[in-house]
Amino acid sequence: MSDNHTVYQTTEFAKWAYAPVHLMNQEAYLFNTYFEKDRRTLEVGTASGRVLIALQKLGYTDLHGCDFVPEYIEVAKQRKDIEPGSIEFQVQDATELTYADESFDQLIYVGQIISAIENAEARKRAFPEMYRVCRPGGTVIVSVLFYDARMRSIGHRVFALWLRLVRALTGNKESTQYLPWMRQGGKLNLAALVDRSARNYWFRGAEIWGELESVGFKVIGCGTKPQIEARQLYTNVDGLTRQELSTVLYLVCKKTGTA
């Protein structure tokens, strides 16, 4: 069975290495609303810099990005559509960043990078790292795969039942919040059906909220695409219960104090 580092180096590589530079509407709204262009900004799990280059085009001046796949960082550094060196790119792992304490005003964890950390202990290390490198008064925008939303679909509930059966037969006690990649490299991933694939971790809303607050952040808003399009972020996850949901949950967090 492969892991997500290998998946991003192989089957998913081209998709993120050569992603067109753009911001999704949800991302554009969140950055416009919660970020400032002159603040020192880091994207963790940047791949080849899709988001950072879009922000540079919008006038952001102090941009940094890292990814744990060195091949993405090579592509990012060679890009012809940015001034060489105008965005600083490094190979770093979200679970053990080497940036100095309190060195960024704004942090970006979109593209569900936290969900891609499949090992529970490693995932737990990513939150204190996020908090450590953020300045007091700083802002973090995070997106994760949203289990509550996914389980609203009958098809996915049936698949979860199937997965439980497969896991029971193989003695695997893992929760169905660990879901195998259903598609890879744009194709159906048949290995998912027999649970022989790399997996992503799908968070419950209260769980990701709790993880962020347990390290010291104050979560000031959350929502999925429909809420963000309606410009109505919620100040607690219960507010989402009766809403139409999509399967990516965005959260905006503040580190208390002043920079």
Ligand X SMILES: C[S@@+](CC[C@H](N)C(=O)[O-])C[C@H]1O[C@@H](n2cnc3c(N)ncnc32)[C@H](O)[C@@H]1O
Give residues in contact with ligand X (CB under 6 A).
4, 8, 16, 19, 44-47, 50-51, 67-69, 72, 93-95, 110-111, 113, 116-117
- Closest residue to ligand X using C-beta atoms: 111
β-bridge partners, 199:
180
Structure tokens at 159: 């698949």
Q: How far is the CB of 117 from ligand X (least distance, A)?
A: 5
Nearer to ligand X, 45 or 180 (CB): 45
In whole angstroms, what is the distance from residue 62 CA to residue 45 CA? 17
Nearer to ligand X, 51 or 63 (CB): 51
β-bridge partners, 104:
134
Write out the E strands in 35-194.
41-44, 63-67, 87-91, 104-109, 134-145, 178-180, 183-184, 187-188
Nearer to ligand X, 67 or 105 (CB): 67
Q: How far is the CB of 5 from ligand X (least distance, A)?
A: 7
Q: How far is the CB of 13 from ligand X (least distance, A)?
A: 9
Those residues whose C-beta lies under 8 Å from the C-beta of residue 55, and which sit 6 or more positions away, are 23, 31, 37, 41, 63
- Phi and psi at 62, nearest 5°, equal -130, 80
Q: How far is the CB of 51 from ligand X (least distance, A)?
A: 5
Judged on CB neighbours under 10 Å (0-12, 13-18, 19+), 124 is middle
Those residues whose C-beta lies under 8 Å from the C-beta of residue 155, and which sit 6 or more positions away, are none
In whole angstroms, what is the distance from residue 101 CA to residue 103 CA? 6
Nearer to ligand X, 62 or 71 (CB): 71
Q: How far is the CB of 163 from ligand X (least distance, A)?
A: 22
Q: How far is the CB of 63 from ligand X (least distance, A)?
A: 13
Nearer to ligand X, 122 or 259 (CB): 122
Place of tokens 């952001």: 60
Nearer to ligand X, 78 or 258 (CB): 78
